[in-house]
Structure 1
C-alpha cells in the first residue's frame, strides 16, 4: 500500500515535516494582523501595539505571548516594559523549510 492509501503514515510524515503549531499561531486573523503590524512598524511595547487594535491590552498580550512561544515574535523586557518585534528571519526560514519539506513529500508521491 502506497503513502496515498495510508492516512496514518501520511499524517505522521506531515506532522514530522511541517511545523503545524507555528502556522496555527500566526494564521489566526488577529495574530496575523499583529505580525504584519510589527513587521511594518518594528519593535513596540504592548501598550503601543494595543493602541492600534480594537482588542484590549490583555487580549493583545495573550496573542503576543502565544506567538512568542512559537518564535514568530521576539520579546525583551526593559524595566517594566515588554517590547515585541516580528522574528522575521525565523518566519522566512520556517516558510522556506516548510516549502522544501512539502516539495520532498510531494516527490514521494510520484
Structure 2
C-alpha cells in the first residue's frame, strides 16, 4: 500500500494528546489554516503538519488548498467507532454505579 494513502487506525490517531487537541481546535471552528493551528503548540509547523497527516490517514481530518495555504477541517464520522466501543462499557459502569448506590442506601 502506498505510504501516502495508508489508512491509520482511529484509536492510534487519537492516542496522542497533541492530536486530540488538534481535533478539539478543529471542532471549535469550521476550518483552520496550518499557521493558526501551529500557534496553539510549542512546536514548529513541520511537527504539527506530521500530526495532521496522521489524523488525515485516519480520515479524522480533511484538507484543502486555498492559494498557498492549506486549511484543515474535522471529519468526526470515524469517531463513531470509538463512541460505539465506549458505549458498550458504559452499560457496565452504569450497573456498577447502581449497585454502589443501592449498597449506600442500605447502609445509611
Q: CA RMSD in A?
A: 2.3
The two structures have a TM-score, normalised by structure 1, of 0.64
Matches within 5 A, 1:72-91: 72-91=60-79
The correspondence for 2:14, drawn from 26, 33, 38, is: 26
Please, which runs of 5 or more residues in structure 1 have no aligned partner? 1-19, 104-110
Cα distance, 1:98 vs structure 2: 3.8
Structure of greater Rg: 2
Q: How much has 1:89 moved relative to structure 2? A: 3.0
Number of residue equivalences: 83
Q: Is the 8 A contact 2:60 2:77 kept in 1?
A: no
- Is 2:32 the partner of 1:44? yes
Specify which structure has the higher proportion of helix: 1
Matches of 2:45 and 2:82 in 1, distance apart?
Answer: 29
CA contact (8 A) 1:72 1:86 kept: yes
Partner of 1:63: helix, strand, or coil?
helix
Unaligned runs of 5+ in 2: 1-7, 90-108
Query: Could you tell me the TM-score, scaled by structure 2's length?
Result: 0.65
